[in-house]
Amino acid sequence: MNIEIPEGKDPIQYVWGEMVPGIGPAASNLSLAVYAHTTLGLREFEAARLRVAQLNGCLFCLDWRTDRDGEKVEEGFADAVTEWRTTGAFDDRTRLAAEYAERYVLDHHGLDEDFWTRMSACYTQAEIVELSMCIGSWLAFGRLNRVLGLDAMCVLPRP
């Protein structure tokens, strides 16, 4: 489905703000908060975010790279995320972040004791909650953008 956007309106601002003013701005604030207030390292944050983007198929999310004080993940990082099981480019935390994102999106009922033991060996409980909230927001909002066709209307600014 493609939402009809009035001429001259920004698709995201229109859909997330004007169309549903009681919900959209709150959703936008959550979406922005996961970037502004995360305590997670850039690599594990981006591994989880990109894995959700890959599974959602959100074009905008796939093209986006989180920037932290001028630093972004290296070229080819997204390919490593796709191959999170076998890549040599990831440490344990980054690999687990990609695995958790994939399992959260595709098989949250299959998160077993073995997984939680491995996760708890690398992440604190607070970090697990934070990562869960981030993944949940990316799943919901990336999928919303994809399903409504907003991801194809939005373009990243180019330097």
Rounded Cα distance between 130 and 34, Å, is: 8
Residues in contact with 77: Cβ distance below 8 Å, sequence separation at least 6, in sequence order:
43, 46, 47, 50, 89
The structural domains of the chain, ordered by start, are 11-148 (1.20.1290.10)
Alpha carbon dihedral 37, 39, 45, 46, in 10-degree steps, equals 60
Quote the CA–CA distance of 19 and 100 in Å, as a whole number: 33
**pLDDT at residue 90 in the model:** 98
pLDDT in tens, the chain (159 residues): 888 899 999 888 889 889 999 999 999 899 999 999 999 999 999 999 999 999 999 988 999 899 999 999 999 999 999 999 999 999 999 999 999 999 999 999 999 999 999 999 999 999 999 999 999 999 999 999 999 988 887 654 444
pLDDT of residue 33: 94
pTM to 2 decimals?
0.91
Confirm if 48 and 98 have CB atoms less than 8 A apart: yes
